[in-house]
A and B are shown apart, each in its own frame.
Chain A
């Protein structure tokens, strides 16, 4: 049988060579190159990673990526640490739990001469600690998103009254109301650099020309808070299409509250069904209270 290895190697090298040239843009027309360079310089095009591009085509992968994007979750949850620091800390905590469990096992080994439980249990405990850290971070991020969404929804109705005569821009009014909310989450978001227009004299980019709606759209994408998109739409309708702010924000508030209350209605209806489960389970402690002594006495009878 002939040796196919050199052929396969040559084929692989050839394919890699062609792919490399394609990746480096050897087959891209110069005009397209020039346009891409210009777009990059003006901030009109964003270079997405391969993983990002693939995940955009596969919703399941996109969801998986979103669920495991620690950096983004840390940002949304307003943690100060980086993703690497968080991972290091979580790994340390998990390691600490493993060491603690192993130490207890060691004590058992010293005192009784045999292990109290299999050492693999320590790995399980470590995994649980890491899982807990992840769930805690995820919940915190989700909670902050909910708070921001609610803060914006509850501001709309007052925004409508505040901008009734268009004496005050919506962005200013939003800043004022954000300062009056007790949790202070919205004001923290609005005072971050991403929420501010660029300073005068800064190099013009697409971001600097986006205006208030653009900033709100960016915040919506950054924090995954859809209410920022709705607000951006409202501001756009007022500032670009010249619609009356009182009508726009009032309608927006009506629509948003309609949705929220609709959800609450559904939740309330679901509650009636869901609540039956814990109520049914209430029988368990009752059975346990009566049954435990009987089972114990029967067990002792059998052991005799």
Chain B
């Protein structure tokens, strides 16, 4: 029996597809990807919490604001009655807000980290010159804090134990540099408070100073570029709305080719904004669980 080439080709493909299905069933490892989605969601929530805390608002408020602006973006997009623009409006609303506020958040975090550097110096100085214990020096420094650290150091003004207060300080600060200070203090008060003076003089203060300096430089560069990208974005939006008032242009952008062009434009723009963010990366630090350090130190003491 002669089989037509088309059917023969189809049979081969079906066989290959069936083979692929069998291999997929054999190779499927249910535990392979378990937890990855959850980890990504946790990372996203942690990032949003960091951003919200730096902007001085709760996570819920921050998410409500983002959703509201996304809806505004969708509504603005709906004015053009082009479905691509509607979706892109919503997308821009969701993405643009954190991007726009990131600069402000970074600025606030930087000023707080600068204050942490000064705090480390102050505590070391209190211990050396006023001959105070580490706990006393911490309480003393928290009594008259820099305005940037007022709410962060508030736990140290309470009657709670110092280790608990330091863990709370770290939670409030949500900054790696603040974590370094808190852990340094926790370890030193468990082992030898004098170690804090040496470590802070020889390592912590110079390292924190340089780290903040580099962050400042990066922040300045990034802020300039963010402003320029924003200006270009605004020019593009204005231009687009002006174009949409011209009937021939509106006709083009309402068509498939026009919508494809719009998609490409937005993808290029967002891609370039992403690249700018990737080029100027902040100095990365290890993320510490300061409360775990507190617990470990308590176990060591016991």
Contacts and interface: CB of A to CB of B under 8 A. Distances in A.
Interface of A: 81, 88-89, 92, 95-96, 99, 102-103, 106, 109-110, 147, 150-151, 154-155, 157-158, 160-162, 164-165, 167-168, 176-177, 179-183, 246, 250, 253-254, 257, 260-261, 264-265, 267-268, 271-272, 274-275, 278-279, 281-282, 284-286, 288-290, 292-293, 296-297
A-B residue pairs, 5 tightest by C-beta: A182-B287, A154-B286, A164-B195, A161-B195, A293-B252
A81 B266 CA distance: 40
A292 B279 contact: no
Contacts of B265: 285, 288-289
Task: Give the size range of B's interface with the partner.
Answer: 35 or more
A158 B265 CA distance: 49
Contacts of A279: 225, 228-229, 272, 276
Interface string B228-258: 1100100110011001000011001100011
A268 B184 contact: no
Contact of B269 (A103, A182, A253, A285): A285
Contact of A282 (B29, B232, B285): B232
A289 B191 contact: no
A168 to B, nearest CB: 8
B198 A246 contact: yes
Interface stretch (B52-60, B84-92, B141-149, B292-300): B292-300
Contacts, number: 192
A230 B232 CA distance: 48
A151 B264 CA distance: 40
Contacts of B268: 281, 284-285, 288
Interface stretch (B8-16, B65-73, B101-109): B8-16
Interface string B1-13: 0000010011001
B221 interface: yes
Nearest to B240: A289
Identify the interface centre among A88, A102, A253, A285: most chain B CB within 10 Å of its CB: A285
B275 A278 contact: yes
Contacts of B286: 147, 150-151, 154-155, 181-183
